[in-house]
Amino acid sequence: MAAISETIVRVNYSETDQMGVVYHGRYAVWLDIARTEHLRQAGFSYRDLEEEGARLVVTDLRIRYRKPARYDDLVRIRCWVRESVPRRVVFGYAIEDTATGTLLGTAETALICLDRTHQLSRLPPAVVRALTRSEDPVRL
């Protein structure tokens, strides 16, 4: 797989606010969608992972908003692994307008792994192997 995945979302009306742009809080969901697809492209279904008892939990979220996204736009979220250690994985994200290529925002999320008993645990080895680190393609 490519170390940087791409996911496209179409902006729905429910995501806009009365400024006429996408509500800023909505980006956290886009990152979630992109992260799930990144794992899928790396050969993992997060659903399967969770059914096996592991859970990836977001501990840190950081988003920098540059340009607004608008209703009906096709937005591309590029996602990659910035850092992966036994108990923590950090994803980076670049959010772009597909029509113009404009960078709309950048983001980072850190996740830890909890086991069935909600204890901090190591990431499953197969996950670690699949999560190839990548250089940041844009400055976060």
Active-site residue list: 17
Binding site for a second copy (CB under 8 A): 10, 12-14, 16-21, 23-26, 28-29, 32-33, 36, 45-47, 50, 55, 57-65, 71-72
DSSP-derived letter for residue 16 is B
Q: Which residue, 61 or 85, is less far from a second copy as judged by CB?
A: 61
Least separation in angstroms between CB 91 and a second copy: 13
* Residues 7, 76: Cα–Cα separation, whole Å: 6
CB of 140 to a second copy, least distance (A): 11
Within 10 angstroms of residue 50's Cβ, the number of other Cβ atoms is 11
Q: 19 or 139: whose CB is closer to a second copy? A: 19
Helix runs in the chain, H state only? 27-41, 46-51, 125-130
Distance CA 124, CA 129 (A): 9
Which three-class secondary structure state does DSSP give residue 134? coil
Contact (Cβ atoms closer than 8 angstroms) between residue 110 and residue 59: yes
The residue among 55 and 122 lying less far from a second copy, judged by its C-beta, is 55
Distance CA 80, CA 72 (A): 25
Q: Which residue's CB is nearer to a second copy, number 96 or number 108? A: 108
